[in-house]
Amino acid sequence: MAEPLRIALAGLGTVGAGLVRLVETNGALIERRAGRPVRIAAVSARDRSKDRGVDLSPYIWEDDMTALSARADVDVVVELVGGADGPALTTARGALKAGKALVTANKAMIAHHGMELAELAEGQGVALKFEAAVAGGIPVIKGLREGAAANRIERVYGILNGTCNYILSTMETTGREFADVLAEAQALGYAESDPTFDVEGVDAAHKLAILAAIAFGARIDFPAVDIGGIGRVRAADIAQAAALGYRIRLLGIADCADGSLLAGGGLFQRVQPYLVPQHHPLAAVDGATNAVVAEGNFSGRLLFEGAGAGDGPTASAVAADIIDIARGDIGAPFSIPVAELEQREAADSGHRTSRAYLRFTVTDRPGVLAEIATAMRDGGVSIESLIQQGRPEEGGEVLVAMVTHEGPEANVAQALQLLEGSASLTEPPLVMRLLA
């Protein structure tokens, strides 16, 4: 019988405890598929006394998780602590420097330090795996890195944050406002007590940066992601989108500016709410589900959909990485060696063409519509449709929404700049693009 693959587990939160349950429950199945037994050798977490709903007595406990890497009875360190820096990064670096394979679900750490960790892994000839860092239990990283490896990826995009998707789809079905649904999501455990990373788009941006690197053979460039959240989306916006035949979804979108992977064009990365046509597969994705679309030049459109979080799905993705390592699959963490990844310039979004939904909150007085229309004209923006909705219950405020014809994004930016400081606007305009 082949020698067991011995793992050390750093972090025993929801996912860590879920991994222990999975290994204990499906151990025989994992052994058959991995070609060797997988054993938990040691564990570590902040609080040894906490009841996690699993029996940890069979495993050696390390109070200092950084000591896991030094253990001679460990082959793989599984990091499930979280956070871009701190103990998670120290543990990851220590594991790779000690010649241990590393498996992590930590999207923030990979988005900020993935290049460094990949170089360490390649230098030591060990695996760095992070399937669970993007879209939970959905095998989208494996799909891009292996299943679509022969394709030039034209675009990768999708719903990358379950909290935001739950909020938007619930607003859609109930007509309730953002703050009300956010409070419900927090009560149900779909949103953290501090939901900033989720609702402001940062969590989705971490995941998008990782997907873009794999899809386009580029070095991770998280600071270049154009990030926007859903906090300013109103029930009125969702209702208006529905009337136009769209649904609002927070999307992460990445592509090469010139459409050519081989030409070394600029890399475009954006996380923002979009209007998605009702016939598009992403429009039907409700609740806390994640979904990713990759468009290959030979494969066509590939859709990956499933649970984007939770102990079971995320632990399943972690275990899949462990099984790959047990089979001897090391591979380049980002599909090709780090030295061959391109340092792509951030694409200038101003040259991109799109249709846009613009919503203005204005004072209810004569001349406001003319002022907005003049700014659009002077900015070179062509208006396709315009809707005005009064809201006397809020002191005479009026919502003015419009959809533009397709045109350069720079023109929209110029038109909005002309309206800056206008006494007619009671808050900054909301801009959402229409997914093409």
CATH number at residue 295: 3.30.360.10
The reply to whether 230 and 300 lie within a common domain is yes
| Helix axis angle, 178-188 to 162-174, nearest 10° | 130
pLDDT at 287 exceeding the cut of 50: yes
Structural Rg of the chain based on CA atoms: 24
Q: CA-to-CA distance for 89 and 257, rounded, in angstroms? A: 33
Percent of the chain surpassing pLDDT 90: 86
pLDDT at 393 exceeding the cut of 80: no
Tokens at 319, concatenated: 């275990």
The pLDDT tens digits for 214-233 are 999 999 999 999 999 999 99
The pLDDT tens digits for 181-197 are 999 999 988 888 899 99
> Is the CA virtual torsion 151, 157, 161, 166 positive or negative?
negative
- Of the residues 77, 109, 133, the one at which a domain ends: 133
The reply to whether 33 and 85 lie within a common domain is yes
What is the CATH number for 428? 3.30.70.260
Task: Compute the average pLDDT of residues 266-286.
Answer: 96
pLDDT value at position 1? Answer: 62
The reply to whether 105 and 229 lie within a common domain is no
The reply to whether 174 and 296 lie within a common domain is yes
pLDDT value at position 136? Answer: 87
pLDDT at 290 exceeding the cut of 80: yes
pLDDT value at position 395? Answer: 53
The reply to whether 284 and 145 lie within a common domain is yes
What is the CATH number for 105? 3.40.50.720
Mean pLDDT computed over every residue of the chain? 93
Residue 412 near residue 353, CB atoms below 8 Å: no
pLDDT value at position 391? Answer: 56
100 catalytic residue (yes or no): no
| CA 74 to centroid of chain Cα atoms | 31
Q: Within 10 Å of residue 375's Cβ, how many Cβ atoms?
A: 18
The reply to whether 268 and 296 lie within a common domain is yes
Q: CA-to-CA distance for 345 and 96, rounded, in angstroms? A: 29
The reply to whether 414 and 293 lie within a common domain is no
The pLDDT tens digits for 133-181 are 999 889 999 999 999 999 999 999 999 999 999 999 999 999 999 999 9
Task: Fill in the amino acid letter for 233.
Answer: V
Q: Is residue 290 part of a domain?
A: yes
Q: CA-to-CA distance for 201 and 226, rounded, in angstroms? A: 10
Give the domain extent around 218: 140-307
pLDDT value at position 261? Answer: 42
Q: CA-to-CA distance for 252 and 148, rounded, in angstroms? A: 19
- Of the residues 133, 160, 189, the one at which a domain ends: 133
The reply to whether 271 and 146 lie within a common domain is yes
Number of folded domains in the chain? 3
Strand pairing class (60-61; 38-44): parallel
pLDDT at 259 exceeding the cut of 50: no
Q: CA-to-CA distance for 356 and 376, rounded, in angstroms? A: 12
Reduced to 3 states (helix: H, G, I; strand: E, B; else coil), residue 316 is: helix
Does residue 217 come out as left (phi exceeding 0), alpha (psi in the -120 to 50 range) or beta?
A: left
pLDDT at 394 exceeding the cut of 80: no
pLDDT at 125 exceeding the cut of 90: yes
- Of the residues 88, 112, 133, the one at which a domain ends: 133
Percent of the chain surpassing pLDDT 70: 96
pLDDT at 260 exceeding the cut of 70: no
pLDDT band at 309 (very low <50, low <70, confident <90, very high): confident
Residue 352 or 120, more confident: 120
Residue 80 near residue 11, CB atoms below 8 Å: yes
Task: Fill in the amino acid letter for 44.
Answer: S
The reply to whether 285 and 398 lie within a common domain is no
Q: Is residue 222 part of a domain?
A: yes
The pLDDT tens digits for 398-414 are 899 999 999 999 999 99
The reply to whether 158 and 126 lie within a common domain is no
Number of H helices, E strands in the chain: 13, 18
DSSP assignment string, 66-130 = GGGGG-TT-SEEEE---SSSHHHHHHHHHHHHTT-EEEE--HHHHHHHHHHHHHHHHHHT--EE-
Q: Is residue 289 part of a domain?
A: yes
Tokens at 352, concatenated: 């991109």
Residue 392 or 269, more confident: 269
Q: Is residue 94 part of a domain?
A: yes
pLDDT at 422 exceeding the cut of 80: yes
pLDDT value at position 142? Answer: 95
pLDDT at 11 exceeding the cut of 70: yes
The reply to whether 129 and 205 lie within a common domain is no
The reply to whether 173 and 110 lie within a common domain is no
Measure the CA angle with vertex 131, ends 126 and 137; round to 5°.
150
